[in-house]
Structure 1
Amino acid sequence: MLAGLLLLGGCGGEGNDKPRMQPTLNERVATLAQQQGISGDPSTGRSIPDIASPKAQLGMQLFFSKGLGGDLDSACVSCHHPMLGGGDDLSLSIGVEAVQPDLLGPGRLHLNTGHHYDGGPTVPRNAPSTFNIVFYDDVLFHDGRVESLDKTPGLNGAGGGIRTPDSPFGVADPDAGANLSVAQARFPVTSPEEMRGFVFEAGNSNADLRSHLEQRLRGTDAALTLVTNNWLDEFREGFEQPTANADTLITYSNIAEALAAYQNSQVLISTPWKAYLEGDRLAISDRAKRGALLFYKSVEKGGAGCAGCHSGDFLTDEQFHVVAMPQVGRGKGDGPDGSEDFGRFRETGDADDKYAFRTPHLINVTETGPWGHAGGYTSLEAVIRHHLNPQQAIDNFDFSQLDPAVQVSNMTANTQKALDQLASLRLAGKSQLPDTVLSDEQVDQLLAFLGTLTDPCLKDRNCMAKWIPDNTIADPDGLRLQAQSSL
């Protein structure tokens, strides 16, 4: 497809004495993309479920049901709504014990009678978008705690075993499932802050909790929690087994498989950048093209070096880097007072991994903020400027851009520790964060390029409707989250 952009740069004629014209802007971008193997399409060669398939439809019903929440007050969609970029439009989430469980995004508050109430958000990390999760091959979650042991490109983690929090580091979890997305779907229900709550199966194992959820959906739990329960019919349809019984069909392995089919169907990659690389030279502006040159060129060649980590068509190396993004929120229980988050170090124990987090992909990045592992920035420009000079960005951090409820009292001290770690790694030659100086115009060019990475479908309710159940789709337990907004 790049051939459509690679035009002859010469002016014609037979002689060698005529000077060649300088490459056009389009030629320069196309050449750079070709050199880096960029097509704009990360879906090539992938197996992607259709949202219309029975299993993905069942997954959508499960994704929107508060029946998977321990206290019946939260669902997967509480923090990952299709109309909120596959996230929740918050720096940090509130899962269980919300004042209004169906109110999503800004205005969602924690009950003042809730566990550990302090007026702020309860989940310690930013909710990553579920969109395009099918393209991850190595790890999921900010700290990579769900990890493919094989890491074969194009397989979404299938093929060689998957490590999860239920297994030791580096050891495959025999119950992980077929791919990273299936493995990931086993864990939000186990988090007290996200979906489990603080009473449901309190003190018991993840296996106990999942078994209880199986019984709930089968209608065999002691409390007969679900007054309305038509899940067996939906599982029979979803797995295309019309005579199977509940014990056979309604297992947590099948729940996770259906949830993963729904999430993996959320492929949103029809971006202007992709259209441009496929030959539509008017799909993006000249400013964005110059931004692409900055993005893909190394610092040594006059660029910003972004593609050193945001590489390939999925725009991530799936590796872990210390960037020292603002550490806001409650923290993960690390450090002297528990308000820190040690990131990848929590999994590996490697000192170089302290404060390192996975490189996020950048497809649809304009719609997936706030940004950073703790959602510390609410503008992409601030994110870019942080990468240029992390110390200066934290020294001059604008606290007013955050929701006033976000916990920030330890932000400066905790983030300084990450900055010190970054400085040490740079000194040792172990950091991939380039030391870059850009003009305001170049920052604007990068922003323009990032704007070309968003699929217009995200902003179109009709286009996104296929991933949102309406009244024509059965509500098996009467607990479907009906999303509301305060805006």
Structure 2
Amino acid sequence: MSGRGVPAWRSDVPRHLAAGRTLLAAALLGLAGLVTPAEAAGLTPLPEPLREVDFHAYDPSLAEIGRLLFYDPVLSGNRNISCGTCHHHDLASGDGLALGVGEGGMGLGLKRTTGEGADRIEKRVPRNASALFNLGAREIRVLFHDGRLSIDDIFGNGFNSPAEEYLPEGLKGILAAQALFPLTSETEMAGNPEENKIAGAAYDRIDYVWPLLVERVRGIADYVDMFREADPEIGGPGDLSIVHIANALGDFINSEWRSTDSAFDRYLAGDAAALGPQARAGMELFYGKAQCARCHSGTLMSDQEFHALALPHFGPGRTRRFDPYVRDVGRMAESDRLEDAYSFRTPMLRNVALTGPWGHNGAYASLEGIVRHHLDPVAALDDWTPEMVQLPPDERFARVDFISFEDRRERARLRARVDIDPVSLSDREVSDLIAFLEALTGEDKGRLGRPARVPSGLPVD
């Protein structure tokens, strides 16, 4: 017997299944003439295909409300930006920029500017706007580039988050919790304290922001009516809380951006013809020689851990109070552990070909660029130049955008903290690897899509 009365043979089933998948992968690749049996023996086991059952359940009525709130600028301090501005359907749930342009900016994607006059932005958003595909997966326990939100009951509310004990109870999951934080960010959605009381409230205490936003939503009859239909316990505007709003946003994100139908997923499900020869060669590299699967592992193609890759620093950074200049130390800012310096969360890879620029700060405008950086991070850092990144121009930032990149000591620290070993690939192999990454693109780019209008009557980006 093994464990709690489980027969020993059953406790070995996962191991035997994994071994079987490895042998199956080896057989398929061998039949395709791509690898020898000896080479195939070194492959990392292929994951299971990603299926709908791997995701949390959601309420369709709440998801529809969340869709409207997601694109409604009413949740921003100055009513001029929405979640959808930086996570847009037309931009593969991102914004197409290396570093985001938040509250005060104008336009979408590469046409977005830093704004005009007194309303223009004070600084760039410190990090790249992450894509939202498959964030509703049950497996996910940590979010944000630095992992500052995770499932953990350290504060008695189910999460370890920037709000600590002030995060409200009753949130359906980590996606609902995540939705609350951009609303409190000065550079993202709240604005500057002198502009509106919501931004001012964020400086007093993070949770003071949310009741002010709830009051706005309570004043819109269409939202109140929809919430009442979705939840019988909501009798009127006074019963509506920030938890209801967060749960609606979370259910929308969970249900909207699910990618389970890529060529790779079809291949894993048994359709051997789903991947062409070049993509299959790239898959062999990904799970073998290129060592990509050491971090991009499992069904979601992410180990949900943090790794240092020596990506170049630029922009405002997420500077801590005691930092002498702008920089971004990544996970260390949250963990206070020196070994976490410059480490960032491993991103998932479904639709990766659509979700550039790539890197936690969008340092590379091409998929090939970020792939080659992974092959030799230190050499790539040494070869990187500011001309390689796309930043909306603004003369106010020109003198400060690359201060940390130009600092010799900071570059030395980056070079000293690299978690992956160099890998040598030919140009043909790099092309094959990119072909495989392109085969991770799914057909479904959004279940409900962008609404034409929102109940507040404000413009929809």
User: Structure 2 length normalisation: TM-score?
Assistant: 0.83
What per-residue deviation string (whole Å, max 9, x for no partner) do you get for residues 358-381 of structure 1?
A: 011111100111111111111111
8 A contact 2:259–2:442 mirrored in 1: yes
Matching residue's letter, 2:457: G
**Matched position secondary structure for 1:94:** coil
1:40 maps onto 2:40 in alignment: no
Contact 1:145–1:164, Cα closer than 8 Å, also in 2: yes
- Post-superposition CA distance 1:245-269 (Å, at most 9, x none): 1111x21011000000000002122
Asked if residue 181 in structure 1 is aligned to residue 181 in structure 2, the reply is no
Q: Does 1:130 align with 2:109?
A: no
Aligned to 1:244, what secondary structure does the other structure show? coil
Amino acid at match of 1:161: G
Q: What secondary structure is seen at the aligned counterpart in 1 of 2:371? A: helix
Partner of 2:413: 420
State the partner residue of 1:289.
280
Are 1:260 and 2:250 counterparts? Answer: yes
Q: Which residue of 2 aligns with 1:49?
A: 58
1:355–1:418 CA contact under 8 A, matched in 2: no
**Does the 8 Å contact 1:139/1:147 carry over to 2?**
yes
Q: Cα gap change, 1:175/1:87 in structure 2, threshold over 3 Å: closer, same or farther?
A: same
- Which amino acid in 1 is paired with 2:360? H
Classify 1:317/1:366 alpha carbon distance in 2 versus 1 (closer, same or farther; 3 Å).
same
The answer to whether structure 1 residue 342 and structure 2 residue 336 are counterparts is: no
For the residue of structure 1 that corresponds to 2:327, the secondary structure is coil
Whether the 8 Å contact between 1:59 and 1:260 is mirrored in structure 2 is yes
Q: CA deviation at 1:420?
A: 3.3
- 2:294 is the alignment partner of 1:308: yes
Give yes or no for contact 1:92–1:375 (8 Å, CA) kept in 2.
yes
- Count of paired positions: 425
Match of 2:142 among 121, 139, 159: 139
Checking the alignment, whether the CA contact within 8 Å between 2:319 and 2:328 is kept in structure 1 is yes
Residues 49-448 of structure 1: matches in 2 within 5 Å? 49=58, 53-98=60-105, 100=106, 103-114=107-118, 122-135=124-137, 137-149=140-152, 161-167=158-164, 173=167, 175=169, 177-198=171-192, 199-201=196-198, 202=200, 203-219=203-219, 229-240=221-232, 244-248=235-239, 250-265=240-255, 266-297=257-288, 303-334=289-320, 336=323, 338-403=325-390, 405=392, 408-410=401-403, 412-413=405-406, 417=410, 420-423=413-416, 425=417, 431=419, 433-448=420-435
1:8 is displaced (CA, Å) by: 11
RMSD, aligned α-carbons:
3.2
Instruction: Report deviation, 1:208.
Output: 1.5
Preserved CA contact (<8 Å) 2:332 2:342:
yes
Deviation at 1:42, TM superposition (A): 5.4
Contact 1:42/1:313, CA 8 A, preserved across alignment = no
Per the TM alignment, residue 419 of structure 1 is displaced from its structure 2 partner at its CA by 5.7
Structure 1 stretch 449-458 or stretch 58-67: which is displaced more?
449-458
Once the two structures are TM-superposed, the CA of residue 465 in structure 1 deviates from its matched residue by 6.3
Aligned 8 A contact 1:322 1:422 in 2: no
Which has more helix, going by share of residues? Answer: 2
Indicate which of 419, 424, 442 corresponds to 1:455: 442
Equivalent-residue separation in structure 1 for 2:317 and 2:120 (angstroms): 13
Equivalents in 2 of 1:318, 1:8: separation in Å?
26
User: Which one-letter code corresponds to 1:163 in the other structure?
Assistant: N
> 1:442, 1:124 → 2: CA distance?
34
Distance change (3 Å), C-alpha of 1:26 and 1:114: farther
Distance 1:253-1:417 versus aligned 2 partners, 3 A rule: same
Instruction: Give how far 1:206 is off.
Output: 1.9
Residue 336 of structure 1 and its aligned partner are, at CA, apart by 5.0
Letter in 2 for 1:180: I
Counterparts of 2:91 and 2:36, CA distance in 1? 35
Offset of residue 332 of structure 1: 1.5
Paired residues of 1:146 and 1:163 also in contact (CA < 8 A): yes
User: Whole-Å Cα distance in 2 between the matches of residues 434 and 139 of structure 1?
Assistant: 25
Deviation at 1:412, TM superposition (A): 2.9
Q: Say whether the 8 Å CA contact 2:99–2:391 is kept in structure 1.
A: no
Distance of 2:82 and 2:31 partners within structure 1: 53
Distance 1:34 1:450 in 2: 17
Cα drift, residue 337 of structure 1: 5.0
Consecutive unaligned residues in structure 2, runs of 5 or more: 1-16
- Could you tell me which residue of structure 2 aligns to residue 222 of structure 1? none
Change in CA separation of 1:44 and 1:355 when aligned onto 2, cut-off 3 Å: same
Q: Which amino acid aligns with 1:166?
A: A
The share of aligned pairs that are identical, in percent, is 32
How far 1:69 moved relative to its partner?
0.6
- Pick the aligned partner of 2:457 from 478, 481, 487: 478
Partners of 1:404 and 1:181 lie apart in 2 by: 28
- The Cα of 1:230 is off from its aligned counterpart by 2.7
- Give the residue type in structure 2 aligned to 1:409: F
Pair 175,26 (structure 1): closer, same or farther in 2 beyond 3 Å: farther
Measure, in 2, the Cα distance between the counterparts of 1:182 and 1:130.
13
Superposition deviation, residue 309 in structure 1: 0.5
Q: Does 1:467 align with 2:457?
A: no
Contact 1:327–1:415 (8 Å) recurs in 2: no
| TM-score relative to the length of structure 1 | 0.79
Alpha carbons 1:310, 1:317 under 8 Å: kept: yes
> Conserved in 2, the CA contact under 8 Å of 1:130 and 1:263?
yes
Give how far 1:28 is off. 7.7
Cα distance in 2 for partners of 1:146, 1:442 equals: 37
Contact 2:70 2:84 in 1 (8 A): yes
Q: 1:148·1:160 contact (CA, 8 Å) conserved in 2?
A: no
Query: In 1, Cα distance between the equivalents of 2:347 and 2:411?
Result: 18
